[in-house]
Amino acid sequence: MLSIRKTMALGLAAAVLAVGFVAAAPIIGAKAEEGSEKWLVDDAEAVVVVNFKALFGSGLLTKGTLADKFKEKLEKSKEVKAFVAATGMDITKDLDSFILSASKVSDKESLKARAVFKGTFDVEKLTAAMKKDDKVTVSKEGKVDLFEIKGPQDKTLYGAFVGKGAFVLTQGKDETVELAKNGATKAPKSNKDLDAALKRFTGKESFAVALVVTEEMKKLAAANEQVGKAVAALTTVTVSTTVSDAIDLAIVGNTTDGKEAGKMAKQLTGLHVIGQGLIGMNEQVPQAAKDLFESIKIDSTRDSVTISLNITKELIEKAAKMEK
């Protein structure tokens, strides 16, 4: 039987098979799903959102060569078949989204995180499957089935279903039980820098990450003078992927100093030019990879520097056809 580690990772494995293509993150931008921000921890310094439902409905995974190969892999995968049989969950239809948030990200001892899988779950089947995993202990807290899960480095995580539409994982038993009983009922205490970063998203992003650059991170970066100066000006870093028939990737460093944003853009542009030269001379690098690297764009505004990349449908289809 599949282990809980495989069970919880299989949704993410599906994204790996799709080369990470996702769409329409649900808690960011002007079109955010109402109430989704309530699942975040207080004073969050990092947020990751993946929308699996939009992923499996995207043009890249519903038509064309890549879509055909993706469907073929799912149909042939013994692991996927076993997962569906054990849990009653079709990951292409029943898994909606994944939301991860964390506070005090620079302090391993104080770090607080919360993860939420949202979708349509066969609670009875999933519970039965997890009970058979030797890394999971199931107990009753009133009417709540509480899953104590042994994580990395013998850390214990506590999971529970919230109705049939969500599964929450936290580091605290009481926190998980409270969420299972009542759901996410109140807006968390917010970090102003993270709030500002989230507002920069349009709501059309496929995959989204927002990270506050903490003072601890800046101190570590200061070991290298040039890097330290650049990082010192950063408040947040965001990563986003927007998927249609093509893929648009953007990495943005938001700063408090427009001059530093300009300097960073110049440094990155210089590195890009050097990289183009080195890759261009390497005959073992496919031409498609060279073209892709060349298409990277670096820009700056008065308070940010952006690295962007557009991967066209033609290039995606070409790469899919090359795969054996």
Domain that holds residue 169: 4-18+50-182
Per-residue model confidence (pLDDT) at position 215 = 92
Per-residue model confidence (pLDDT) at position 57 = 78
Checking if the pLDDT of 31 tops 70, the result is no
Residues 174 and 288 in one domain: no
Residue 307 inside a domain? The answer is yes
Residues 138 and 233 in one domain: no
Per-residue model confidence (pLDDT) at position 33 = 63
Residue 27 inside a domain? The answer is no
Residues 299 and 166 in one domain: no
pTM of the model: 0.83
Distance CA 44, CA 42 (A): 5
Q: 182, 198, 232: which is the final residue of a domain? A: 182
Q: Which residues pair with 100 in a beta bridge?
A: 48, 115
Residues 236 and 171 in one domain: no
Residue 101 inside a domain? The answer is yes
Mean pLDDT calculated for residue range 77-91 = 86
Per-residue model confidence (pLDDT) at position 145 = 95
Residues 8 and 144 in one domain: yes
Residue 30 inside a domain? The answer is no
Q: 162, 182, 202: which is the final residue of a domain? A: 182
Residues 110 and 8 in one domain: yes
Checking if the pLDDT of 9 tops 50, the result is no
Residue 12 inside a domain? The answer is yes
Structure tokens at 270: 């210089």
Residues 100 and 170 in one domain: yes
Residue 189 inside a domain? The answer is no
Per-residue model confidence (pLDDT) at position 60 = 83
Mean pLDDT calculated for residue range 193-222 = 88
Checking if the pLDDT of 157 tops 90, the result is yes
User: Percentage of the chain with pLDDT > 70?
Assistant: 87
Q: Which residues of 129-142 are buried (b: 16+ CB within 10 A; e: fewer)?
A: bbeebeebeeeebe
Q: 136, 164, 182: which is the final residue of a domain? A: 182
Q: Quote the number of domains for the chain.
A: 2
Residues 100 and 155 in one domain: yes
Structure tokens at 275: 């990289």
Residues 11 and 110 in one domain: yes
C-alpha torsion sign, points 89, 92, 94, 99 = positive
Lowest mean pLDDT segment, chosen from 47-56, 113-122, 259-268:
47-56
pLDDT band for position 11 (cuts 50, 70, 90)? very low
Residues 296 and 218 in one domain: yes
Closest C-alpha among 308, 295, 322 to residue 252: 308
Residues 251 and 305 in one domain: yes
Considering 7-11, 45-49, 183-187, the range whose residues carry the highest mean pLDDT is: 45-49
| Unique residue bearing structure tokens 């601890």 | 216
Per-residue model confidence (pLDDT) at position 19 = 32
Structure tokens at 58: 């995207």
Checking if the pLDDT of 277 tops 70, the result is yes
Residues 258 and 150 in one domain: no
Per-residue model confidence (pLDDT) at position 322 = 66
Per-residue model confidence (pLDDT) at position 212 = 96
